[in-house]
């Protein structure tokens, strides 16, 4: 499995050339804050849909899903469905309205009606927390993957990944991040499609046959086709479902993508593209996971690791001719390169989100009170990007041998308990106040954190005080309660007065930030007074 070969170097070189070409092209649009943070708002709906697919699917997500299906069959597939349903929440409750209301960050939209300093600080701190945790989990995944597939040292792999994403973000900003996501999603979709068709061809293009064969090879036998191998408890499962569905609607790196499109119509179409593409990719992933169970030998299943994360590369290698064969080496190299591109694009998207919170929300808007020149804002953006990358690398070093599986669920729970309630209430509840928003974020983060620490996955003792594996069932309602409590205790007449402005702007796009691209024209009736 391990060891670089000639193919690996060749394929990585091709990938490098491709991404450098993107980088060069993406610097053409000029340099101002709108270009850096929002790609000039000139990305089209379908392009953004593909980029959103890339933003959402990390290497860990795809490999993890294959592994879960290999090990737990039906429940592995069931786990992934929640994310897809989450996009319905994105589309209905945030999506196009956020595009109309916002500028570069979520806080830009909220502070149209809510108090600048407190809300920006709370929301930006929360965005930083979510982004840095996502960054660490993905860097860990990328490092371990490169170590396993290419055979380089974990720390070197992490540093290579960090240097690579820094180049894209610092030089090209959101434009190069977007195109990196598009290329990555296309490559990832391509190899997923090829492997899935290969697996299906081996089973005569009959899903029933594939499933039967997988069950025949599973240690659980027929139980492999039934639910109950991974998700065993109703309360835990529903809690996980809530975290996945509403967490997607609160993920800052995904929401930031909405500011890159021309108008709300493009925001809407980008979500429908993303939902269709992600749905297809998940169905293909199910086929690959089942194929891994049906066709991998017991020793290969063992080599896929305790969580099955390396099942997909094992399957690719075997289908293409086996260990050491010409085809096996070639496909493994291609797979490793795409997995690396996947991780790279994902962390680039996360880092630019974190930088937007630190640089645009906290530095430019709170510390400097918005009186910052465009050039200075871009310079600060680059500096914060480097700073966040360094923090991410150091944290990734620290967690090398730790089990941080719980972090993924925790991140989604935090996003679902903070950004989701705050955004929905800011857009929909007239009496929602500044203190309500701050209290909502605090309640959401603290409750998710405390409940996770006390949960079975993290608590060191044998009897965890809380039985819930994912905190969302309690922390999401607590997030809403925090919003309500703060709004009732400290009403905010200014926020109430400006409710109409935010609601009308979000619904109609009157006053929405225009595209700065010279190519596009403004839609009639919008943005121009």
Partner 1 sequence: MASDQPTQRPVERPPTGRFDRMPAEPPLAESLDWDAIERDADYQELRARRGRYIAPAAIICFAAYFGFLVLAVNDRGLLGNRITGGFTLGYLLMVILFLIVWAVVIGYAHIGRTRWDPHVERLCADARGGDQQPPAAPLAATGTSPAVGTREGLTR
Which of 44, 220, 272, 307 touches partner 1 (CB under 8 A)? 272
Which of 22, 136, 142, 215 touches partner 1 (CB under 8 A)? 215
- Quick one: CA dihedral 127, 282, 81, 264, positive or negative? positive
**Distance of closest approach, residue 528 Cβ to partner 1, in angstroms:** 7
Under rule CB under 8 A, residue 376 binds partner 1: yes
Which of 268, 368, 382, 431 touches partner 1 (CB under 8 A)? 268
Q: Residue 219, exposed/middle/buried by CB under 10 A (0-12, 13-18, 19+)?
A: exposed
Under rule CB under 8 A, residue 387 binds partner 1: no
Q: CB atoms < 10 A from the CB of 477, how many?
A: 16
Stretch that binds partner 1, among 189-197, 380-388, 454-462, 503-511 (CB under 8 A): 503-511
Question: What totals of helices (H) and strands (E) does the chain contain, helices first?
Answer: 24, 0
Residue pair 89/242 in contact (Cβ under 8 Å)? The answer is no
Name the residue nearer to partner 1 (CB basis): 214 or 435: 214
Which of 233, 297, 302, 403 touches partner 1 (CB under 8 A)? 233
Alpha carbons within 13 angstroms on the beta-carbon side of residue 481 total 10
How far is Cα 264 from Cα 521, in angstroms, rounded to an integer? 14
**Distance of closest approach, residue 65 Cβ to partner 1, in angstroms:** 13
Stretch that binds partner 1, among 12-20, 55-63, 77-85, 332-340 (CB under 8 A): 77-85
Residue pair 246/86 in contact (Cβ under 8 Å)? The answer is yes
Under rule CB under 8 A, residue 475 binds partner 1: no
- Which among 393, 182, 186 is positioned nearest to 281, based on CA atoms? 186
Task: List the structure tokens of 13.
Answer: 């070189």
**Distance of closest approach, residue 80 Cβ to partner 1, in angstroms:** 10
Which of 207, 221, 327, 369 touches partner 1 (CB under 8 A)? 207
How distant is the alpha carbon of residue 442 from its chain centre?
22
Stretch that binds partner 1, among 36-44, 116-124, 143-151, 214-222 (CB under 8 A): 214-222
Q: What is the DSSP letter of 297?
A: -
How far is Cα 218 from Cα 224, in angstroms, rounded to an integer? 7
Under rule CB under 8 A, residue 374 binds partner 1: yes
- Sequence-separated (6 or more) residues with CB below 8 Å from residue 340: 12, 15, 59, 142, 145, 146, 161
Using CB under 8 A as the binding rule, the residues of this chain from 79 to 108 that contact partner 1 are 81-82, 84-85, 87-89, 91-92, 96, 103
Which of 237, 285, 329, 384 touches partner 1 (CB under 8 A)? 237
CA-CA-CA-CA torsion for 520, 523, 525, 527, nearest 10 degrees?
A: -50
Helices (H), 73-204: 74-89, 95-101, 106-110, 116-149, 154-167, 173-202
Which of 50, 62, 70, 77 touches partner 1 (CB under 8 A)? 77
**Distance of closest approach, residue 190 Cβ to partner 1, in angstroms:** 21
Name the residue nearer to partner 1 (CB basis): 206 or 400: 206
**Distance of closest approach, residue 516 Cβ to partner 1, in angstroms:** 7
Name the residue nearer to partner 1 (CB basis): 323 or 522: 522
Name the residue nearer to partner 1 (CB basis): 92 or 326: 92
Under rule CB under 8 A, residue 491 binds partner 1: no
Residue pair 421/476 in contact (Cβ under 8 Å)? The answer is yes
Residue pair 260/174 in contact (Cβ under 8 Å)? The answer is yes
How far is Cα 188 from Cα 482, in angstroms, rounded to an integer? 40
How far is Cα 336 from Cα 13, in angstroms, rounded to an integer? 12
**Distance of closest approach, residue 343 Cβ to partner 1, in angstroms:** 26
**Distance of closest approach, residue 4 Cβ to partner 1, in angstroms:** 39
Stretch that binds partner 1, among 3-11, 70-78, 398-406, 472-480 (CB under 8 A): 70-78
The partner residues of 43 in beta bridges, in order of sequence, read: 261
Name the residue nearer to partner 1 (CB basis): 216 or 324: 216
Which of 125, 167, 283, 404 touches partner 1 (CB under 8 A)? 283
Using CB under 8 A as the binding rule, the residues of this chain from 136 to 175 that contact partner 1 are none
Name the residue nearer to partner 1 (CB basis): 244 or 345: 244
Stretch that binds partner 1, among 134-142, 307-315, 327-335, 501-509 (CB under 8 A): 501-509
Stretch that binds partner 1, among 9-17, 155-163, 228-236, 408-416 (CB under 8 A): 228-236
Under rule CB under 8 A, residue 74 binds partner 1: yes
- The full 3-state SS of 213-256, as one line of letters, equals HHHHHCCCHHHHHCCCCCCCCHHHHHHHHHHHHHHHCCCHHHHH
Using CB under 8 A as the binding rule, the residues of this chain from 294 to 323 that contact partner 1 are none
Residue pair 71/310 in contact (Cβ under 8 Å)? The answer is no
Under rule CB under 8 A, residue 524 binds partner 1: yes
**Distance of closest approach, residue 153 Cβ to partner 1, in angstroms:** 41
Counting residues that bind partner 1 (by CB under 8 A) gives 79
């Amino acid at each position: 499995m391990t060891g670089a070969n000639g193919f690996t170097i060749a394929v990585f070189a091709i990938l490098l050339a491709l991404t450098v070409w993107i980088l060069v092209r993406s610097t053409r649009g000029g340099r101002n804050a709108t270009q850096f943070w929002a790609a000039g708002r000139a990305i089209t709906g379908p392009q953004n849909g593909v980029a959103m697919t890339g933003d959402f699917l990390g290497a860990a997500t795809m490999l993890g899903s294959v592994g879960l299906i290999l090990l737990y069959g039906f429940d592995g597939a069931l786990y992934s469905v929640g994310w897809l349903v989450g996009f319905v929440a994105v589309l209905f409750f945030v999506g196009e309205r956020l595009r109309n209301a916002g500028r570069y960050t979520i806080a830009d939209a909220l502070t149209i009606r809510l108090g600048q300093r407190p809300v920006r600080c709370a929301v930006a701190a929360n965005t930083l927390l979510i982004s840095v945790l996502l960054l660490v989990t993905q860097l860990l995944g990328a490092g371990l993957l490169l170590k396993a597939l290419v055979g380089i040292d974990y720390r070197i792999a992490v540093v290579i990944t960090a240097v690579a994403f820094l180049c894209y973000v610092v030089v090209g900003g959101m434009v190069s991040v977007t195109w990196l996501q598009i290329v990555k999603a296309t490559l990832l979709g391509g190899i997923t499609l090829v492997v899935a068709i290969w697996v299906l061809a081996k089973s005569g293009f009959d899903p029933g046959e594939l499933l039967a064969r997988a069950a025949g090879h599973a240690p659980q036998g027929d139980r492999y086709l039934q639910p109950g191998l991974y998700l065993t408890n109703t309360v835990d499962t529903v809690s996980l479902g809530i975290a996945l569905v509403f967490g997607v609607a609160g993920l800052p790196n995904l929401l930031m993508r909405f500011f890159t499109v021309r108008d709300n119509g493009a925001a809407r179409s980008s979500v429908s593209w993303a939902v269709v593409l992600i749905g297809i990719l998940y169905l293909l992933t199910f086929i690959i996971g089942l194929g891994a169970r049906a066709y991998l030998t017991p020793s290969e299943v063992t080599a896929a690791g305790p969580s099955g994360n390396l099942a997909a590369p094992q399957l690719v290698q075997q289908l293409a001719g086996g260990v050491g064969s010409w085809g096996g080496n070639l496909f493994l190299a291609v797979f490793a390169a795409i997995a690396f591109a996947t991780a790279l694009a994902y962390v680039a998207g996360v880092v630019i989100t974190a930088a937007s919170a630190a640089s645009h929300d906290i530095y430019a808007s709170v510390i400097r009170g918005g009186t910052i020149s465009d050039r200075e804002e871009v310079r600060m953006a680059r500096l914060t990007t480097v700073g966040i990358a360094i923090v991410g690398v150091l944290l990734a070093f620290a967690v090398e041998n730790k089990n941080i599986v719980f972090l993924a669920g925790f991140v989604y729970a935090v996003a679902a308990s903070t950004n989701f309630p705050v955004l929905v209430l800011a857009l929909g509840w007239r009496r929602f106040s500044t203190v309500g928003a701050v209290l909502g974020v605090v309640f959401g983060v603290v409750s998710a954190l405390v409940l996770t620490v006390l949960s079975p996955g993290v608590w060191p003792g044998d009897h965890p005080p809380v039985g819930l594996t994912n905190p969302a069932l309690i922390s999401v309602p607590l997030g809403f309660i925090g919003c309500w409590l703060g709004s009732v205790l400290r009403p905010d007449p200014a926020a109430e007065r400006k409710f109409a402005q935010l609601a009308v702007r979000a619904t109609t796009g009157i006053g929405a930030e225009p595209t700065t691209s010279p190519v596009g024209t403004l839609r009639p009736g919008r943005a121009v007074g």
